[in-house]
Amino acid sequence: MSSYPPSGPPPKTTLRQRLADLRGPAVPPRPLDARALAALAANPGCGRRALLDGAGVDKTALAAALGSPAAFGQSQFAIIRGNSFEAKVKGDGGAELLRLVYEHLGAGSEPPGPDARVPDLTAAGPEGRAARTALALREATAGAAASGAWTLLDHPMLALEVAGSPAYLEPDAVVVHPDGRWTVVEIKSFPMIDGAADAAKVGAAARQAAVYVLALEKTAGKLASAVVGHTVLLVCPKDFSNLPAAAPVDIRRERAVTRRQLERLTRVEELAAALPEGLSFDPARPAEELTEAVAAVSASYAPECLAACELAFHCRERARAADAVTALGRSVRGELGALTTVEEALAAAAGSGGPDDPTAASLHHAARLRAEALEAAACPC
């Protein structure tokens, strides 16, 4: 008998091991949150972000190692203020929060009383917490049907598969109504002045809440009597005080857009399989290696990325260096069709485009009109 091991193909690397290799041997995975998923859904054509988020890469550390650190994020003061306001809203067993939910979304139900439930959602790890949350939702829905009681889930854990990779999400709160309806509650620290908050911030909160609603619908699909409300409750400080105020926000449009965009994402294993062996995004590696690694994954940069992605400044620099029209915005990129660089667009405006190219002809016509208008404005007569 031969003492040599049997020959054969090498063992296949699992997806989990492959993603760990991409992050780096000593880098723990960074979990996806609803804010990141909302930003990912807003730009589903960016394979770079889909892969890095799916692999759990710390994009903040990666951007710093590339020499283009992210310049956005909440200050420590804002985080402390937000945590203090949330604790105030949820104090006394969530009595004030349940009152706000009843006042704005509880039509037809009995007001919450001392029998309102706040189940313990403690468990080991995100998988355990997600399972415990699913059980609490099931019990709360059954209990609501039997006794008509309200239930407040404080920081539940929800699971949602994104591009073939599991994501664990933690909303501020989920309320189970006496009729079995589930409502997502978003608690924000920006003020609600005269009953209205900043439209851009409300829009961002709505997109974030839409991700939570999609995750809740996965759990609700296993229960016959569960219904996920498509109106979430936004709770903010009233005017310039620390008193809570609330407003219902219909997120049906955001939910539909987010669901469609997340379904369009390329699966993580497909993106990882297209990369060469040995490639890594470990921030401890030299900047030159990291630059090559990041360039190996296709990106779809737009100016909107600056407010949502840690790698936006690096991608903007590369887009400008490549003279790409994407640096001018998605609307400009869509109008220019096959013209992918600023130089090509300027050349077409100067009349060097082909006669059969309608985009080039339109640019040339617009350039002539502009020149005539400037000439007419400069004429002293």
What is the block-wise mean pLDDT of the chain (381 residues), using blocks of 10 residues?
A: 51 74 86 84 85 89 90 73 90 92 88 89 93 94 80 94 83 93 94 90 92 93 87 94 93 92 82 88 92 92 86 91 83 77 80 74 82 79 61
Distance spanning both ends of the chain, measured CA to CA: 105
Torsion angles phi and psi, residue 233, rounded to 5? -105, 120
pLDDT at 190: 92
pLDDT at 350: 80
pLDDT at 1: 46
Strands 227-228 and 158-162: unpaired
Distance of CA 253 to the CA centre of its chain: 16
Distance of CA 259 to the CA centre of its chain: 12
User: Where would I find the H helices in the chain?
Assistant: 15-23, 34-42, 47-55, 59-65, 76-89, 91-105, 125-147, 199-220, 252-264, 268-273, 287-295, 312-321, 330-336, 342-349, 358-378
pLDDT at 72: 63
Give the whole-angstrom CA distance, residue 58 versus residue 321: 25
pLDDT at 16: 78
Q: Are 135 and 151 in contact (CB under 8 A)?
A: no
Distance of CA 90 to the CA centre of its chain: 25
Inter-CA distances, 249 with 176, 204, 206, 208, 210, Å: 17, 12, 7, 12, 11
Give the whole-angstrom CA distance, residue 166 versus residue 159: 7
pLDDT at 13: 62
Q: Which of 131, 182, 123 is nearest to 153 (CA)?
A: 182
Give the whole-angstrom CA distance, residue 144 versus residue 16: 40
pLDDT at 8: 53
CA atoms within 13 A on the CB side of 336: 22
Give the whole-angstrom CA distance, residue 157 versus residue 215: 10
Look up residue 244 and give its DSSP letter: E
Q: Are 349 and 361 in contact (CB under 8 A)?
A: no
